[in-house]
């Protein structure tokens, strides 16, 4: 093998390969003998198309895009009506439309910018949805569950039935046999902190006349709150759902499957665990319509169980549990079931992300889209001691078929911190990771305290300590990696987006661990963010930092932009021009602060991009810029990559 310095190895993976390297897949459904699914198309500015198996022509062609803005992050933006008709939320105007292959979409909701729809569900012969009503800018939107006529009469807003309201947020409408189950929560809670499962009685007009809380909700202490998720009826009188009370007295709190049975009206038995396990069947409800389990027609239930990495299990009606051996270990979600078959999305340590069909009886797994086996060594799960307790991470070492580094050299390492901050990295086979490791750069994915996938106590580690505990955990993981000889301590960089960008900036300001940082649309000033962000996250910071006005000084002290003199580390800032979550004003202020300190930096703003990059040109340019930046700052050549111009100070 040829010997070259770490970071400078020629790689078969170019920035131009990155837009197609990681599929962005959405809801999938069985439609007749076909499978239909949603997929973001980077070559078409990231629009979300609906595709079908066995046909190269999209079911939903350009310029249409199925994407909802409910809760800003959307979800459930399309649904099959059981035949070749389908409904979708058009990204540009947020109207729900009825369509079929080859037919022009027909509006089902008013031409009124106040209304936003998502979480579409076709059940009991009715189209159900979550609706947001924005009556005026900067006013709190009203959310309700509605029934939308599919005959087109809903273009008159009076013909859309308000089924139930009465809480700040609603999700997961599940009707069956004259009842409706749904999830509800109120400010200042986030759905993973405290959310209720409610069940109501429907009248002939499809309105809830009375309801009761079955599970979940607030408790006397934050740690005792319960988050309920994903109601699914398995009969007119039997309801499955997820919640996360302690598995046993004094035990860990994990999202587990529960069941309750109903008598007349709202009378029901106490919920009982269907499968009690020290693992999570569930996760943060950032996107509506997310499913972590699926009932089969014969009474069995297939569920995802996550404890760092994920696995699939089958729970039979008698309670016996069997694990399904599959290569899927991360971001596994269930979409639809038919007989013993399931549609799933997910990735694994040895396969890329994709859309899969699983046959439970034959134990066979078929990749319908993506799911390509990889030849890279799987990421290594690692746990490091930290000041807040154990810190979980995954390490991917530099790897090449044709190149190796001198024995005396230690590799540079890029530390990845996910967003959320309730996100979760699973060490899956990743094109973006291979982009770096194939060049001789190690990658460390850190699940700092606050991450999901390890139970409520691990998530709650971040309570009132955002910008402290996450930074301490990430720094501890880096020091642990250095101690075992897997990283050059002088060449460690950190990258994160959104909430991960906040961790990047706090780590650069408050530690001496990192030689460079990359912020993708990162939070830099908490008060600016609160003044400009959307309603869904407007009270998130009550738990992450503290309630206002009591904690205002904490918001000031903790924000990196409040202590700009500490921002002296080289920094690359990547930002979308149309980001409503972290507006460009934050990144521009950050750029000016770094420039004032004379630190090497670059700021790139991508026109038309929102919170998360979707366009092919944007994705390609972002990876090229990151690699060039790392090479210049950490001291290695980047063959085939145009150099990124780094400024030392503000330009006149």
Tens digits of per-residue pLDDT, 407-438?
999 999 999 999 989 999 999 998 999 999 99
Beta bridge partners of 573: 519, 603
H or E, element range at 480: helix 469-483
Tokens of 65: 């895009």
* CB-based contact 292:305 (threshold 8 Å): no
Average pLDDT over residues 335-344: 97
Tokens of 8: 């400078």
Sign of the CA dihedral running 433, 436, 439, 442: negative
Residue 55's pLDDT is 84
pTM attached to this predicted model = 0.93
63 preceded by cis ω (within 30°)?
A: yes
Instruction: Classify each residue of 628-646 as buried b or exposed e, where b means 16 or more C-beta atoms within 10 Å of its C-beta.
Output: bbbbbbbebebeebeebeb
Residue 596's pLDDT is 94
pLDDT 10s digits, 482-505: 999 999 999 999 999 989 999 999
CA distances, 132 to each of 64, 72, 168, 367, 536 (Å): 21, 10, 10, 36, 11
Rounded Cα gap, residues 6 and 487, in angstroms: 11
Rounded Cα gap, residues 478 and 160, in angstroms: 54
What average pLDDT does the structure give for the chain?
94
pLDDT 10s digits, 287-312: 999 999 999 999 999 999 999 999 99
């Amino acid at each position: 093998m040829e010997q070259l310095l770490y970071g400078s190895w020629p790689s078969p993976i170019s920035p131009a390969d990155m837009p197609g390297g990681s599929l962005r897949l959405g809801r999938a459904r069985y439609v007749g003998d076909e499978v239909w699914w949603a997929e973001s198309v980077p070559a078409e500015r990231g629009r979300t198309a609906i595709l079908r198996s066995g046909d190269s022509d999209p079911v939903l062609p350009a310029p249409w895009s199925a994407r909802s803005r409910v809760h800003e992050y959307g979800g459930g933006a399309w649904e099959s009506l059981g035949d070749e008709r389908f409904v979708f939320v058009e990204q540009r105007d947020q109207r729900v439309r009825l369509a079929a292959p080859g037919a022009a979409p027909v509006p089902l909701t008013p031409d009124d910018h106040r209304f936003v729809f998502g979480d579409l569900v076709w059940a009991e012969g009715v189209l159900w949805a979550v609706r947001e009503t924005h009556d005026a800018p900067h006013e709190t939107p009203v959310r309700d569950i509605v029934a939308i006529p599919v005959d087109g009469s809903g273009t008159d807003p009076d013909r859309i039935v308000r089924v139930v309201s009465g809480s700040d947020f609603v999700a997961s409408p599940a009707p069956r046999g004259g009842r409706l189950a749904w999830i509800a929560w109120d400010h200042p809670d986030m759905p993973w902190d405290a959310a209720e499962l409610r069940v109501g009685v429907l009248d002939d007009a499809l309105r809830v006349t009375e309801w009761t809380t079955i599970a979940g909700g607030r408790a006397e202490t934050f740690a005792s709150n319960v988050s309920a998720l994903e109601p699914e009826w398995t009969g007119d009188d039997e309801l499955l759902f997820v919640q996360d009370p302690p598995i046993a007295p004094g035990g860990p709190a994990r999202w587990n499957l529960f069941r309750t049975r109903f008598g007349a009206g709202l009378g029901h038995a106490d919920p009982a665990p269907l499968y009690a396990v020290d693992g999570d069947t569930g996760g943060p409800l950032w996107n509506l319509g997310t499913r972590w389990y699926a009932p089969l027609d014969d009474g069995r239930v297939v569920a995802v169980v996550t404890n760092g990495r994920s696995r699939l299990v089958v729970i039979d009606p008698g309670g016996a549990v069997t694990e399904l051996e599959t290569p899927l270990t991360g971001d596994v979600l269930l979409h639809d079931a038919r007989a013993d078959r399931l549609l799933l999305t997910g990735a694994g340590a040895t396969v890329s992300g994709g859309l899969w069909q699983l046959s439970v009886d034959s134990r066979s797994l078929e990749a319908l889209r993506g799911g390509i086996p990889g030849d890279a060594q799987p990421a290594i799960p690692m746990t490091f001691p930290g000041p807040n307790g154990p810190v979980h991470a995954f390490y991917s070492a530099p790897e090449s078929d044709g190149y190796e580094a001198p024995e005396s050299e230690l590799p540079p390492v890029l530390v990845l911190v996910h967003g959320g901050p309730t996100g979760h990295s699973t060490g899956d086979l990743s094109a973006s990771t291979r982009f770096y490791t194939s060049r001789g750069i190690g990658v460390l994915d850190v699940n700092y305290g606050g991450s999901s996938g390890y139970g409520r106590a691990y998530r709650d580690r971040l309570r009132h300590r955002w910008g402290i505990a996450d930074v301490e955990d990430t720094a501890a993981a880096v020091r642990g990696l250095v101690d075992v000889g897997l990283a050059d301590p002088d060449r460690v960089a950190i990258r994160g987006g959104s909430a991960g960008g906040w961790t990047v900036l706090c780590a650069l300001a408050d530690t001496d661990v990192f030689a460079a940082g990359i912020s993708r649309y990162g939070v830099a000033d908490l008060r600016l963010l609160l003044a400009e962000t959307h309603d869904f996250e407007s009270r998130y910071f009550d738990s992450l930092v503290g309630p206002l006005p009591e904690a205002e000084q904490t918001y000031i002290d903790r924000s990196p932009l409040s202590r700009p003199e500490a921002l002296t580390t080289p920094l690359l800032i990547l930002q979308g021009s149309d980001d409503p979550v972290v507006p460009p004003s934050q990144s521009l202020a950050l750029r000016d602060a770094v420039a004032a300190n004379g630190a090497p930096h670059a700021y790139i703003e991508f026109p038309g991009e929102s919170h998360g990059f979707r366009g092919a040109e944007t994705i390609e340019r972002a990876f090229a810029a990151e690699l060039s930046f790392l090479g210049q700052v950490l001291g290695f050549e980047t063959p085939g990559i145009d150099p990124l111009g780094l400024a030392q100070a503000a330009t006149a």
